[in-house]
Amino acid sequence: MTDRLRLAVPNKGRLVEPTLALLHDAGLVFESTDRSLVARVRNFDLDILFVRTNDVIEFVRDAVADLGVTGIDLLCESGADLPQVRLLGYGQCRLAAAVPADSPYQSLQDLSGLRVATAHPNATRSFFAAQSVPIEVIPISGAVEVAPRLGLAEAIVDLVSSGSTLIMNGLRPIADVLASEAVLVANPDARDTRSVELKAIETMLSAVIAARDKKYLMMNALASKLAELEALLPGLSGPSVIPLAHEGMIAIHSVVEADAVWGLLPRLKAAGASGILVLPIEKIVP
């Protein structure tokens, strides 16, 4: 059928695993084997196209796919003016300008007139132009971090997440060029003509992303401890308080930030909570 919605996703590299996890967590049922180009989603009118990371944007721009998963860095580099449906909460990294650790360069201005090697020539060019620092961009497609050692350039602009690769290669970051993460993009026509289906996908994905950094807490306590416990539990719209069969006892349920749980548990216990359960949340639709 030609009118099934098509979503292009990377078939190799860092974005593959988190993208597949997100789609599966959203409840889409499909088989993904490395060799198949197209996976048919069984419970939604959607085909998933597995393509090279660098081709996702072109597929969406050319309307071969209605939606695509890519990185902000790649979008910026391509210059494609595609509508961003939503950020996806993974693939966080940044494009950073770096120089050899033992070089005298400390700031962007120090790179004026020098060569900068990068696999992101367009993003690099526009960043330095916006900073009014004239440089020569040396486009290379891989192993950017060895360019200074090879004498190809005085500096590089490369993707960094922790920064440890830069350090391992004897480099020192001097400026951030761009913050990136994975993003769901749409073809502009599809956004207009298939808005209902796109909204359904966006809602499914958003529900999973919203739930990922949250936990569901359940606990019992004496009703007299409610005020003290409530002060510790903001929840989505305040905690739910449920009377228990035993007189004077309540159950409190609340949604909390996952990162806050470990700090919260001893304080809840000290404030009188018992039988505390911490549960994962599958989806949140506000």
Q: Which is nearer to ligand AMP, 91 or 148 (CB)?
A: 91
Write out the H or E segment, with its range, that includes residue 249: strand 249-257
Report in angstroms how near the CB of residue 73 gets to ligand AMP at its nearest: 5
Report in angstroms how near the CB of residue 184 gets to ligand AMP at its nearest: 13
Residue found by looking up tokens 């761009």 in the block: 178
Report in angstroms how near the CB of residue 141 gets to ligand AMP at its nearest: 11
Q: Which is nearer to ligand AMP, 91 or 239 (CB)?
A: 91
* Residue 216 near residue 130 (C-beta atoms within 8 A): no
What is the separation, in whole angstroms, between the first and last Cα of the chain? 34
Written as one string, the DSSP assignment of 161-214 is SSSHHHHHTTEEEEEEEEEE-EEEEE-HHHHHHSHHHHHHHHHHHHHHHHHHTE
Report in angstroms how near the CB of residue 15 gets to ligand AMP at its nearest: 5
Residues in contact with ligand AMP by the rule CB under 6 A = 10, 13-15, 53, 71, 73-74, 91, 93, 159, 161, 180
> Residues with Cβ < 8 Å from 270, sequence gap 6 or more?
none
Q: Which is nearer to ligand AMP, 56 or 264 (CB)?
A: 56
Q: Which is nearer to ligand AMP, 10 or 148 (CB)?
A: 10
As a dihedral over the C-alpha atoms of residue 100, residue 95, residue 177, residue 59, rounded to 10 degrees, the angle is: 140
Q: Which is nearer to ligand AMP, 139 or 234 (CB)?
A: 139
> Residues with Cβ < 8 Å from 85, sequence gap 6 or more?
67, 183, 184, 185, 186, 191, 198, 201, 202
Report in angstroms how near the CB of residue 2 gets to ligand AMP at its nearest: 29
Report in angstroms how near the CB of residue 166 gets to ligand AMP at its nearest: 10
Q: Which is nearer to ligand AMP, 28 or 183 (CB)?
A: 183
